[in-house]
Amino acid sequence: MLRTLSIENYALIRQLKIKPVSSLNIITGETGAGKSIMLGALGLLLGKRAESKVVFDESKKCIIEGIFDVKAYQLKPLFEEYDLDYEEECIIRREISATGKSRAFINDTPTTLDALKAIGLRLMDIHSQHETLALGNNSYQLQIIDIVAGNFELLSKYQEAFKDFKEKQRIHRDLIEEGSQITKEADYHQFLFDELDTAQLQADEQEELEEELSKLEHAEEIKAKLNEALMISDQAEFNASGMIQELKSTISAISSFGKSYEALRERLESLQIELKDIIAELEDEDSKVEVDPQRTEECQDRLSLIYKLQQKHQVGSIAELLEIYEELGNKVLRVSNLDEAIEEAAKAETEAFERANKLAKELSKVRTKVFDQFTKSIKSHLAELGMPNASLEVRRTESELTLTGNDTIEILFSANKGIAPSPLKQAASGGEFSRLMFAVKYILADKTALPTIVFDEIDTGISGEIAIKMAQMMRKMSESHQVITITHLPQIAARGSAHYFVYKDESTSTTSSQIRLLNQEDRLKEIAEMIGGKNPSTTAYESAKELIELP
């Protein structure tokens, strides 16, 4: 539940802080003083988008912070899903700059509006005029029936099956579309594949061929230079081999006279051995080199084919050509296996549909079972709220599978005797709608684990004994839920466990909204003023006292 709400620099509010009690909290005040502004601030904590115009003083940030006690609501998995630290005392904060830039935090960790919405939905239910209008929406009516039926687990199971069906359906359709495209290109892909297949390309062959061709095209020059090297190193009258041998012999004669001479002799001996190896390798290379016009032409033709294929496929290496070859092979193979793949995908789609459809029928069955219970309960509460002749009917029509099943739910309502129920969008006046919405909320309160329920003037259009009954029902709801009610009725205000008064502060150059917790004396005065105006009579005070003392 909400432990503390702090609002700073928001709309008409310079700074405001309240600590609601765990039961029934009443908020009253002057018209236009800012009662509903607090709801806007709460909405921002629950993930609604912010606008720059909400900033009171543009030189400062707007900061809204709510501290919630969440230990009883098993929210740890939800926090983990959004990678947030879980604390039994959860702090949600929104910061808004004058430019409209907004930041959100949960337990001091930056987070997204999606995370705020997901967690906020589990913390607070804010009734507003917008939600009253939503009651006429078929999807909202279906949500009501599901809550009454306790369908959370079954609906979740169905939605998983439905998503699986839609995924299987997508795969099937994509395959059909892909098959149509592949079939059009099949002959061309086959031609390209056959061309590469005939080429029988090898991964390293381009580099090897280019090196071999270079040698073949310069064979005469290479052979001449190898022979010249052999002549210099071993065959000429004054060759390198003989000179090194003579040099080694000269140094050997003095090698016994010092270590440095011996080291020089060893180095010359190593040089002689290395030169012999070089001469042997030169002779071997010379034996390999030959002018071969036929092999030269073969290399040129093969490289020409490789270059042509690379140009055709707009690549620069055989490795890339081999990748294309593999891709083309898969496409050619896919064409031959396409019918089988489409058939398997169609079967998977049908099986997924049957699973989802079976669960949808189970959902419908459970929903239909609670129609009578729901309508009887609503009519009973409406009778208590001064509408004894109200009639209610829940009508179901079957639809295609959607994320919520195959049911379209429509609640029909009539407030008057002898008038057939009609769709909610056209059936109720403002006051009747408010009472109907309250009766729905009263029933849903027992079915949900929401810590906090907020009512924004749900008492519109009612008065007298009906208002007293609504107040008693709110009091009953507050035994298991924290209830915050913005009201203009003294009958409801008198039932609160805590009473807050919102007023305009005009003591400075800029008007601002303030709130204060009323003590017993102030509370009696406020309720008396709600009954008798700004200067209440003794009778108004007596009526206020009587309302406060009602059981």
pLDDT in tens, 248-260: 888 888 888 888 9
Span 364-380, average pLDDT? 95
Please provide the average confidence, as pLDDT, over all residues in the chain.
Answer: 87
Report the length, in residues, of the chain: 551
Q: What is the pLDDT of residue 378?
A: 94
Written as six digits, the tokens of 90 are 């959860």
Is the pLDDT reported for residue 372 higher than 70? yes
Q: What is the pLDDT of residue 482?
A: 93
Is the pLDDT reported for residue 129 higher than 70? no
| pTM of full prediction above 0.85 | no
Span 337-344, average pLDDT? 84
User: Distance between CA atoms of 113 and 100, rounded to whole angstroms?
Assistant: 15
* Cβ-based burial of 510 (10 A; exposed 0-12, middle 13-18, buried ≥19): exposed
Q: Between 148 and 426, where is the model more confident? A: 148
Q: Between 419 and 448, where is the model more confident? A: 419
- CA torsion 469→470→475→479, rounded to 10°? 110
pLDDT in tens, 269-316: 899 899 899 888 888 887 877 777 888 888 888 888 888 998 999 988
Span 237-243, average pLDDT? 81
Is the pLDDT reported for residue 224 higher than 90? no
Q: Whose CA is closest to 360, among 410, 403, 409?
A: 403
User: Distance between CA atoms of 312 and 268, rounded to whole angstroms?
Assistant: 58
Helices within 385-489 (DSSP H only):
424-427, 430-445, 464-477
Chain-centroid distance of CA 126 in Å reads: 24
Taken in order 419, 420, 426, 427, the sign of the CA dihedral is positive
Phi-psi region of 512 (alpha: psi -120 to 50; beta: other; left: phi over 0): beta
Phi-psi region of 392 (alpha: psi -120 to 50; beta: other; left: phi over 0): beta
Is the pLDDT reported for residue 543 higher than 90? yes
CA angle 134, 74, 369 (to 5 degrees): 50
Q: What is the pLDDT of residue 132?
A: 62
Residue 545: its H or E element: helix 538-548
Written as six digits, the tokens of 297 are 């032409």
Which residues, in sequence order, are CB contacts of 482 under 8 Å at separation 6+? 1, 2, 20, 21, 22, 23, 25, 451, 452, 453
Span 211-236, average pLDDT? 82
Span 230-244, average pLDDT? 81
Q: How many CB atoms lie within 10 A of CB 94?
A: 25
Is the pLDDT reported for residue 338 higher than 70? yes
Number of H helices and E strands in the chain, helices first, is 19, 15
Radius of gyration of the chain (CA): 44
User: Distance between CA atoms of 517 and 16, rounded to whole angstroms?
Assistant: 11
- 332: confidence class by pLDDT, cuts 50, 70, 90: confident
User: Distance between CA atoms of 319 and 322, rounded to whole angstroms?
Assistant: 5
- 427: confidence class by pLDDT, cuts 50, 70, 90: low
Q: What is the pLDDT of residue 212?
A: 75
Q: What is the pLDDT of residue 130?
A: 59
Span 106-120, average pLDDT? 91
pLDDT over 70 percentage in the chain: 97
pLDDT over 90 percentage in the chain: 38
Q: What is the pLDDT of residue 352?
A: 96
**How is the beta sheet containing 391-402 ordered, strand by strand?**
391-402, 405-414, 422-423
The DSSP bridge partners found for residue 68 are 2, 90
Is the pLDDT reported for residue 510 higher than 70? yes
Q: Which residue in this structure is represented by tokens 């969440």?
A: 70
